[in-house]
Amino acid sequence: MKSNYKKLKRTILIRTGLVALLALVIGEGIVHFFIDGIFQGLFTRAMMAIFTGMHMDSEMANEWYGRIFMDHKTVFLVIGFIILFLIFYNLLVKRMLHYLSSVEAAIDAIQREDDEQIVLVPELKPLEDKLMALRATLKRKEMETAISEQKKNDLVVYLAHDLKTPLTSIIAYLTMLDQRKSMPDEDREKYIHVTFEKASRLRELINEFFEITRFNLQDIVLEKEQLNLSFLLEQLADESYGVLKDKYLTCSVKTDDDLMVMGDPDKLARVFDNLLRNAIAYSYTDTEIEIEARAKGTDIVITFENQGHEIPEQNLKLIFEKFYRVDNARSSQTGGSGLGLSIAKRIVELHGGIIEATSDWERTTFTVVLPGIHNPTQKVEIQEKEEEDPLSRHQKLGTNKKSEIGKKNRRRV
């Protein structure tokens, strides 16, 4: 800050020095020419006329001048110098006020949201640059706020429409069930099934509304513990078997054994569940969703890959923003509120990780990178125990083989 305003500081010091020098020169000139010089007589009579209000001849004026002024010459000279200095310093202050006026005008221009260039005096160039940067920041934030507000308004419209559609269907089917008492059992069963599906869809949409308020992105609190990521991903795929079957999809899970992270199980499960649901929603029929998790250095890299419509490059940069939906029509069908990925991103970042998406050649991949747990001491202790107890080691190997068999059966759902 000090270095930015060296020029202003130097200007103020120079001008203050010039004011003092000018006051000194003018004061010295008055002393040399009027008080002690060739114009002393005129000066003496004029001063006596001013102080006494009387017109005196030269002799009387000189006498009074000597009594009043010359005996206290030093005092009068100091007072005179101070008066001169204040006069010129007042001019300097007016110049300083001009600086402030230009700053005030610049601030007014920012408040009026004018596009005119902010121009201050050269000494205030650093401040001019900061004001221009401030204006750019305010405009950017205003634009971001407007875009966010528009997205929220669009979201309300989408959700209102999405709520109306299944609700209308539910009422229509229930009306038919109520009015047609002698409906064939086959039709009745069909209508009840459709009504149940529409009611489930309505419940999902209502949950989306609660999502908006319940998951304020600034209020996510983690409850971390050691978590086996390999087991979590396999369990997630198992639990999605019904949905995958209905969509004519399969899911393969390939993970390294016992990938451990320090994280919140519920929050991370939410992240991966959201990624899997997105993959299911936007996959082509009769394709496979591939989930992989590998250790890479000190990190664990998890990928969800599906075959579906390619996401445009410009949309990839926006899909993690709040309320953003890549395809309004498809999102309407799948029930996406545009909050899932933004919440997932926030949760991953709170775990010290990153999440990103790529899409090309009709394959979309979401990649999550999380810090892994690496404890060499713990591995050594396990090895020692296995060496001490061969039977235990044999039993564990058997268990591992069963686990591997189980994994093979479960990994392709």
- The predicted-structure confidence for 176-235, as pLDDT tens digits, reads as follows 888 988 889 898 898 898 899 888 878 877 876 676 656 654 567 889 999 999 999 999
Write the burial class of residue 289 (CB in 10 Å: 0-12 exposed, 13-18 middle, 19+ buried).
buried
How many C-beta neighbours within 10 Å does residue 280 have?
A: 19
Whether residue 85 is contained in a domain is answered as yes
Are residue 162 and residue 183 in the same domain, yes or no? yes
Are residue 36 and residue 144 in the same domain, yes or no? no
Q: How many residues does this entry show for the chain?
A: 413
Are residue 237 and residue 338 in the same domain, yes or no? yes
Distance, CA of 319 to CA of 323 (rounded, Å) = 9
Are residue 170 and residue 247 in the same domain, yes or no? no
Nearest CA-CA partner of 63 in 51, 39, 45 = 45
Whether residue 306 is contained in a domain is answered as yes
Contacts of 385 (CB under 8 A, 6+ apart): 392
Tens of pLDDT, residues 153-177 = 776 776 676 678 788 889 988 998 8
CA distances, 4 to each of 9, 11, 117, 128, 383 (Å): 10, 13, 21, 11, 63
Nearest CA-CA partner of 282 in 234, 231, 342, 340 = 340
Contacts of 16 (CB under 8 A, 6+ apart): 89, 92
Are residue 196 and residue 278 in the same domain, yes or no? no
Distance, CA of 412 to CA of 289 (rounded, Å) = 9
pLDDT score of 111: 80
Whether residue 404 is contained in a domain is answered as no
Task: Choose the final residue of a domain: 84, 101, 124.
Answer: 124
Six token digits for residue 31: 């002393």
For helices 340-350 and 265-281, the axis angle rounded to 10 degrees is: 140
pLDDT score of 400: 39
CATH number at 159 reads 1.10.287.130
Six token digits for residue 135: 């204006």
pLDDT score of 100: 78
Distance, CA of 46 to CA of 63 (rounded, Å) = 14
Find the radius of gyration of the CA atoms of the chain.
42
**Ranges under pLDDT 50 in the chain:** 1, 217, 328-335, 337, 376-412
Total domains, the chain: 3
Q: Could you tell me the residue range of the domain that residue 322 belongs to?
A: 225-371
Are residue 136 and residue 197 in the same domain, yes or no? yes
pLDDT score of 307: 96
Are residue 145 and residue 239 in the same domain, yes or no? no
Give the full edge-to-edge strand order of the sheet including 363-371: 250-255, 288-296, 299-307, 363-371, 354-360
